[in-house]
Chains A and B, each alone.
Chain A
């Protein structure tokens, strides 16, 4: 344990910690904070979000036909309230716009009317008008489940779609706004985590080789076993980085106030993402977290291999470039972001993970075996 602790301490030097903080700050500022700061992003998405939250409170996990009628009834009430509001506005009455129907059919080519329309929505930001729009969108999607019914996919995908219609997914309440937001966030967080792991693992073996400390390490009692112990160090360091980054991310994510969506199935008429499996949003989150850990471990194996063969930091950076290209692009897109999506083969992710982990393990094992008999 002392060796492990010492090696971890070496990896988390003050310089490296500062670098990790700087990189994390930049990535958060450039890519992640936007999804926190502007969630829901403008209107009527904010109103859509509020309406969905109210649906959940009023109807639970799904909305049957009777509840849908109630939802439409609320919309009618809002229309009545909007009409009342319009009647109370002198300029609207003067322009002969004193019902919501007239308001929604206004000729926006007419500059004067367009200005009045804009005033209601953007200057006065009257919530009722936004809410009606949002409710219209929800009603439209609920009434048009064609995406689930009329589709031209493979027989297996068709069967899954039919299964979803049968098990009531077309009535399930969820929102792609929450799902897309999480998916965008987890991709950037995964990229940040992998970047952190690359930074922290780069000196794993190079540092000792460059400082000629390896001669002392390999002639100590621990000897060449240190090579494999350093891998344990790398995995431990990666676990620390992943856990810390995810803990901070979920702490920030709490601010998006989406906890009420956690127990909901992600397969819903209100979510464009269709999964092969009946997952709740929480289960999907857990799945992405597991995948980040698995990819993190694979990255440690490859990163450790690079660190052990690269003679200097420049070579190591060079070898990390194609790895980063793969991981930050396709890696996060298919193995973190779009997990279980129906448009990909259901075995893509599990098979990819098995292949990645086996290959990276073999790569490291091969290096370890050669290190044991290498002339130093």
Chain B
């Protein structure tokens, strides 16, 4: 079990995170927040790249900083900016990282071969990575994070650059992996985590706002989300009145999905809120309030 207890992180005068308390068991955790909210700071503290200003992070009761390499040998990490050497092939690069992870060479060779098959890069296993697409590089990144069969898999924006097919494959892979390990997935793309995360963690104003299941989080705005048809010339006024969550044109009309705490009108159709609605509500409600105040 991984516990984040009263963790605060300051960079000089800037407060990036304050009093974060979290608990991770086996399963997928989606860390969902807009860019700049502090996701990467939290992730970097979980991977010992950053040290908390106060508070502690403990694995099975032991401080991860004190555990040192005993902790790091249990983690797999895919950073937001996945670094690699352009002139290395995936095989040679993964073997290089395997050595750093303390994996025996023979084991590493077999593991690299297996992982490259898993991420569908076995056909380019010995090609230099300089000619790889963004998606292929990202898949090398995913493979390296799983090299040591980690008990804690931490992925920072892992689906960046992946095409829809690869995203689906990746999600399935994570679901399988999460059965016997902690998977923490940081993203600002709601669809990456909505279907697979056991729990979603949302950070706002440097603090954890929610750590709950998708349905419970969505329940917070139950009864506030509607869909309605709006005439084209009414759309601007509608947008400024309500928080629009999505819009689409159909049959010459504008279909708006929106959130409001006002009493429902007859033409509004209540719908089940999804995680994206919550995301937009939480991170744009400031804008809405401002607009409404105006």
A interface residues, Cβ below 8 angstroms from B: 2-3, 6, 10, 13, 207-208, 211-223, 225-226, 373, 375-376
Contact A376 B83 (CB under 8 A): no
Indicate whether B238 reaches chain A with its CB closer than 8 angstroms: no
Residues from chain B with a CB closer than 8 A to the CB of A211 are 83-85
With both beta carbons as reference points, the residue of chain A lying nearest to B147 in the complex is identified as A220
Indicate whether B68 reaches chain A with its CB closer than 8 angstroms: yes
Indicate whether B81 reaches chain A with its CB closer than 8 angstroms: yes
Decide yes or no: A219 and B50 within 8 Å by CB, A2-B99, A212-B83 being known contacts. Answer: no
Known: A2-B99, A207-B85. 15 other contacts (CB 8 A): A3-B99, A6-B99, A13-B87, A211-B84, A212-B82, A216-B82, A219-B72, A219-B77, A220-B72, A221-B100, A222-B69, A222-B101, A223-B48, A223-B68, A373-B51
Indicate whether B179 reaches chain A with its CB closer than 8 angstroms: no
Contact B79 A216 (CB under 8 A): yes
Indicate whether B97 reaches chain A with its CB closer than 8 angstroms: yes
Decide yes or no: A215 and B83 within 8 Å by CB, A220-B101, A221-B102, A375-B50 being known contacts. Answer: yes
State the 8 A-B residue pairs at the shortest beta-carbon distance, nearest first.
A212-B83, A213-B83, A220-B100, A221-B102, A221-B73, A376-B49, A2-B99, A215-B79
Q: How far is the CA of A223 from the CA of B72 in the complex (A)?
A: 8
User: Shortest distance in angstroms between A373's beta carbon and chain B's nearest beta carbon?
Assistant: 7
Contact B83 A221 (CB under 8 A): no
Contact A2 B49 (CB under 8 A): no
Query: Which of A214, A216, A223, A225 is the most central at the interface, judged by chain B CB atoms within 10 Å of its CB?
Result: A216
Contact A3 B100 (CB under 8 A): yes
Decide yes or no: A212 and B79 within 8 Å by CB, A6-B96, A223-B48, A375-B50 being known contacts. Answer: yes
Q: How far is the CA of A215 from the CA of B48 in the complex (A)?
A: 10
Indicate whether B144 reaches chain A with its CB closer than 8 angstroms: yes
Decide yes or no: A213 and B85 within 8 Å by CB, A6-B96, A222-B100, A223-B72 being known contacts. Answer: yes
User: Shortest distance in angstroms between B96's beta carbon and chain A's nearest beta carbon?
Assistant: 5
Indicate whether B177 reaches chain A with its CB closer than 8 angstroms: no
Residues from chain A with a CB closer than 8 A to the CB of B185 are none
Contact B51 A221 (CB under 8 A): no
Contact A221 B97 (CB under 8 A): no
Residues from chain B with a CB closer than 8 A to the CB of A212 are 79, 81-83
Indicate whether B105 reaches chain A with its CB closer than 8 angstroms: yes
User: Shortest distance in angstroms between B60's beta carbon and chain A's nearest beta carbon?
Assistant: 18
Query: Which of B82, B84, B96, B97 is the most central at the interface, judged by chain A CB atoms within 10 Å of its CB?
Result: B96
Contact B81 A215 (CB under 8 A): yes
Provide the B170-213 mask, 1 if CB < 8 A to any CB of A, else 0.
00000000000000000000000000000000000000000000
Q: How far is the CA of A340 from the CA of B72 in the complex (A)?
A: 52
Contact B100 A215 (CB under 8 A): no
With both beta carbons as reference points, the residue of chain B lying nearest to A209 in the complex is identified as B83
Decide yes or no: A215 and B102 within 8 Å by CB, A220-B72, A223-B69 being known contacts. Answer: no
Contact B83 A208 (CB under 8 A): yes
Q: How far is the CA of A216 from the CA of B88 in the complex (A)?
A: 15
Which residue of A3, A207, A226, A376 is within 8 Å of B50 (Cβ)?
A376
Indicate whether B44 reaches chain A with its CB closer than 8 angstroms: yes
Contact A219 B49 (CB under 8 A): yes
B window 14-70: CB within 8 A of A: 44, 47-51, 68-69
Q: How far is the CA of A107 from the CA of B24 in the complex (A)?
A: 105
User: Shortest distance in angstroms between B95's beta carbon and chain A's nearest beta carbon?
Assistant: 8
Chain B interface residue count, Cβ-Cβ cutoff 8 angstroms: 29
B interface residues, Cβ below 8 angstroms from A: 11, 44, 47-51, 68-69, 72-73, 75, 77, 79, 81-85, 87, 96-97, 99-102, 105, 144, 148
Provide a sorted-by-A list of 19 A–B residue pairs whose CB atoms are within 8 angstroms.
A6-B99, A212-B81, A213-B84, A215-B79, A215-B81, A216-B77, A216-B82, A219-B47, A219-B72, A220-B72, A221-B100, A222-B69, A222-B100, A222-B101, A223-B48, A223-B69, A225-B69, A375-B44, A375-B50
Query: Which of A3, A211, A220, A226 is the most central at the interface, judged by chain B CB atoms within 10 Å of its CB?
Result: A220
Which residue of A10, A223, A376 is within 8 Å of B44 (Cβ)?
A376
Residues from chain B with a CB closer than 8 A to the CB of A226 are 100
User: Shortest distance in angstroms between B97's beta carbon and chain A's nearest beta carbon?
Assistant: 6
With both beta carbons as reference points, the residue of chain B lying nearest to A222 in the complex is identified as B100
Q: How far is the CA of A206 from the CA of B285 in the complex (A)?
A: 43
Contact A216 B102 (CB under 8 A): no
With both beta carbons as reference points, the residue of chain A lying nearest to B154 in the complex is identified as A219
Contact B51 A214 (CB under 8 A): no
With both beta carbons as reference points, the residue of chain B lying nearest to A225 in the complex is identified as B69
Q: How far is the CA of A215 from the CA of B50 in the complex (A)?
A: 11
Decide yes or no: A218 and B48 within 8 Å by CB, A2-B99, A213-B85 being known contacts. Answer: yes
Q: How far is the CA of A2 from the CA of B108 in the complex (A)?
A: 12
Q: How far is the CA of A222 from the CA of B48 in the complex (A)?
A: 12
Contact A218 B49 (CB under 8 A): yes
Q: How far is the CA of A121 from the CA of B101 in the complex (A)?
A: 74
Which residue of A10, A222, A375, A376 is within 8 Å of B102 (Cβ)?
A222
Residues from chain A with a CB closer than 8 A to the CB of B97 are 216, 220
Residues from chain A with a CB closer than 8 A to the CB of B11 are 375
Residues from chain B with a CB closer than 8 A to the CB of A225 are 69
With both beta carbons as reference points, the residue of chain B lying nearest to A211 in the complex is identified as B83
Q: How far is the CA of A211 from the CA of B100 in the complex (A)?
A: 17
With both beta carbons as reference points, the residue of chain A lying nearest to B76 in the complex is identified as A219
User: Shortest distance in angstroms between B242's beta carbon and chain A's nearest beta carbon?
Assistant: 42
Q: How far is the CA of A208 from the CA of B79 in the complex (A)?
A: 14
Residues from chain A with a CB closer than 8 A to the CB of B75 are 219
Q: How far is the CA of A376 from the CA of B40 in the complex (A)?
A: 11
With both beta carbons as reference points, the residue of chain B lying nearest to A229 in the complex is identified as B100
Residues from chain A with a CB closer than 8 A to the CB of B79 are 212, 215-216
Residues from chain B with a CB closer than 8 A to the CB of A222 are 69, 100-102
Residues from chain B with a CB closer than 8 A to the CB of A214 are 83
Residues from chain B with a CB closer than 8 A to the CB of A208 are 83
With both beta carbons as reference points, the residue of chain A lying nearest to B144 in the complex is identified as A216
Contact A221 B101 (CB under 8 A): yes
With both beta carbons as reference points, the residue of chain A lying nearest to B86 in the complex is identified as A211
Contact B48 A2 (CB under 8 A): no
